[in-house]
Amino acid sequence: MVSYIPLISSLGALIAGTLTLRVFQRRREKTFLVATASMYLFFFGAFLEFISSYLGYWPEILYRLYYGTSPIQPALLASAILGIYTLDEFIRHKKIYKGYLLYTGILGSLVLILSLIAEVNTTLLSDPYVGGAAMASYVRILSPPLTIPSGIILIGYPLYTWIKGTKHIDKIMFPTAALIVMIGGAAIRMGWVSLFYMFELGGAIVLLMAFYTVYKRYVQ
| Predicted confidence (pLDDT) per residue in 81-123, tens digit | 998 888 766 656 677 888 899 999 999 999 999 999 999 999 9
The Cα angle at residue 149 between residues 142 and 62, in degrees rounded to 5: 45
User: Model-level pTM?
Assistant: 0.91
135 beta partners = 120
Q: Which domain holds residue 19?
A: 5-218
Residue ranges in the chain modelled with pLDDT below 50:
none
Query: How many domains, the chain?
Result: 1
Cβ contacts of 169 within 8 Å, gap of 6 or more = 213
| pLDDT of the residue at 191 | 67
Do 203 and 180 meet the contact criterion of CB atoms below 8 Å apart? Answer: yes
CATH number at residue 22: 1.20.1070
Q: How far apart are CA 102 and CA 34, in angstroms?
A: 12
* CA–CA separation, 13 and 93 (whole Å): 27
Amino acid at position 29, single letter: E
Span between the terminal Cα atoms of the chain, in Å:
43
Report the pLDDT value the prediction gives residue 144, as an integer from 0 to 100: 93
Mean pLDDT score of the chain, rounded to an integer?
Answer: 90
Sign of CA dihedral 31, 36, 38, 39: positive
Give pLDDT, residue 159: 92
Residues contacting residue 85 through CB under 8 Å, at least 6 positions apart: 93, 157, 158, 161, 165, 171
Residue 10 CB burial class (10 angstroms; 0-12, 13-18, ≥19):
buried
Instruction: Give the 3-state secondary structure of residue 135.
Output: strand
Q: What is the pLDDT of residue 219?
A: 85
